[in-house]
Chains A and B, each alone.
Chain A
Amino acid sequence: EAGVAQSPRYKIIEKRQSVAFWCNPISGHATLYWYQQILGQGPKLLIQFQNNGVVDDSQLPKDRFSAERLKGVDSTLKIQPAKLEDSAVYLCASSPGGPFNNEQFFGPGTRLTVL
């Protein structure tokens, strides 16, 4: 079974530029999560999708971050414009959904450096 795929693995941009990350969850997984992991901290949930609907985006900085999962499969997370404090690893995770939503499967992450 293929795992959660993310691209790119690394990205370096200058502040005020835009950047987009892509995530392809495990086939059949209804729930998709985007996390931000700042160095030395645990992952912080940015947004959670159930199929193509948003379940929780309370911690997403909506003035600069956006995410979509149009067909309920893969997802993109965008930052526009980026700030220095956005430097972090962005993790995507998926889970089956429903009563089996108690285990998340994580992708390798995208390490973003904002200069």
Chain B
Amino acid sequence: AQSVTQLDSQVPVFEEAPVELRCNYSSSVSVYLFWYVQYPNQGLQLLLKYLSGSTLVESINGFEAEFNKSQTSFHLRKPSVHISDTAEYFCAVKSRTGNQFYFGTGTSLTVIP
């Protein structure tokens, strides 16, 4: 089975400052990696995913994440955050041959004006 660790449960950051949300995973097989975002009172939305190819993946709203196999990490970054980025962010992993997605406990990002 796989597992995901999100070490930071809450991250406050000032508007226009950079942010990094950390995600580490554990797996004995090759995996796919995902970041989901959950705005208040809404369901989870896919932010970005790593399936294969370039280890750096980007979202349409300026987030990026880099798959680091040696460090088993998939940290999420944004160089300049906006108020609208305030949300809960979940990292998830799925084995390439399995069915189940495993989610981390989430990181609450609060952007301070």
A binding-site residues for B, Cβ under 8 Å: 4, 33, 40-45, 48, 55-56, 91, 93, 101-109
Contacts and interface: CB of A to CB of B under 8 A. Distances in A.
SS class, residues of chain B in contact with chain A: strand
Contacts of A56: 99-100
B49 A43 contact: no
Interface residues of B, number: 22
B28 interface: no
Interface of B: 4, 9, 32, 36, 41-46, 49, 51, 90, 92, 94, 99-101, 103-106
Contacts of B44: 43, 91, 93, 104, 106
A92 to B, nearest CB: 8
A42 B102 CA distance: 9
B103 A108 contact: no
A44 B16 CA distance: 33
B32 A48 contact: no
Nearest to A103: B46
Contacts of B9: 40
Instruction: In the A-B complex, list the 7 residue pairs whose CB atoms are closest, starting with the nearest.
Output: A42-B103, A106-B43, A106-B44, A108-B43, A43-B103, A42-B105, A107-B43
